[in-house]
């Protein structure tokens, strides 16, 4: 026998913690019938981040391991997308966990945990931030992770200096300066 649906219990309350040194989180209330795309937008709005970067939700466990991916757009592999995936199809009880990754170059990670399932309040517009704790970091405050590890500003600057200095090139570079002179049209055998 199917469990009767409680129509009056239709709001998820998620605690969204940003991965930062300080304690910074937002409690977001959203309809159980909303899609992951609405939660994506609500998280960005709650932390004052601008939209425009790739993002994914990952269903998670008590150890915050990445599970099933729900990407921003349908990538064809799993046929899932944020716009086509309803929240209540993936979460339903307090303590359900989701990882949210925004901007794959800066790797902003958010820990999203369902903390309450409740009844909507009349005249309330959802999604909404029910509680904000701590000042959100600037979206650009995190360096891009181009090398697979986080670097501080000095390390990032030092890496650029090394690449700009031609005296630091190895002696066994593939091309020397003589190889780069001329063009393809100088060599008749090219045609």
pLDDT in tens, 67-79: 999 999 877 666 8
Does 153 map to a domain? no
Are 30 and 14 contacting, i.e. CB atoms less than 8 angstroms apart? yes
The answer to the question of residue 187 being in a domain is no
Can you tell me the distance from the alpha carbon of 18 to that of 100, in angstroms, rounded to the nearest whole number? 9
Q: pLDDT tens digit string along 124-161?
A: 999 999 999 999 999 988 776 555 555 555 555 554 55
Q: Is residue 23 part of a domain?
A: yes
User: Structural domain tally of the chain?
Assistant: 1
Q: Tokens in use for 90?
A: 């993936």
Q: Is 117 helix (H, G, I), strand (E, B) or coil?
A: strand
Average pLDDT taken over every residue of the chain: 81
**Residue 1 falls inside a structural domain:** no
* pLDDT for 80 beyond 50: yes
Q: What is the CATH number of the domain that holds 52?
A: 3.10.290.30
Tokens 């199917």 sit on residue: 2
The arithmetic mean of pLDDT across residues 27-41, rounded, is 97
pLDDT in tens, 157-186: 554 555 455 555 455 444 455 554 554 444
In a domain, 181, yes or no: no
Q: Which of 3, 23, 1 is nearest to 133 (CA)?
A: 23
């Amino acid at each position: 026998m199917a469990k009767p649906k409680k129509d009056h219990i239709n709001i998820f309350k998620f605690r969204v913690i940003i991965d930062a040194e300080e304690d910074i989180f937002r409690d977001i209330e959203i309809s159980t019938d909303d899609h992951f795309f609405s939660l994506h937008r609500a998280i960005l709005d709650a932390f004052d981040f601008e939209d425009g970067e790739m993002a994914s939700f990952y269903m998670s466990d008590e150890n915050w391991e990445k599970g099933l991916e729900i990407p921003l757009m349908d990538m064809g592999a799993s046929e899932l997308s944020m716009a086509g995936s309803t929240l209540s199809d993936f979460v339903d009880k307090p303590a359900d966990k989701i990882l949210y990754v925004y901007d794959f170059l800066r790797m902003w990670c958010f820990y999203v945990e369902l903390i309450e399932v409740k009844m909507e309040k009349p005249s309330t517009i959802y999604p909404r931030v029910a509680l904000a704790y701590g000042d959100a970091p600037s979206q650009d405050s995190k360096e891009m992770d181009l090398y697979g590890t986080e670097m501080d500003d000095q390390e990032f600057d030092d890496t650029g200096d090394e690449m700009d200095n031609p005296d630091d090139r190895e002696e066994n570079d593939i091309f020397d300066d003589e190889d780069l002179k001329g063009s393809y049209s100088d060599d008749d055998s090219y045609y």
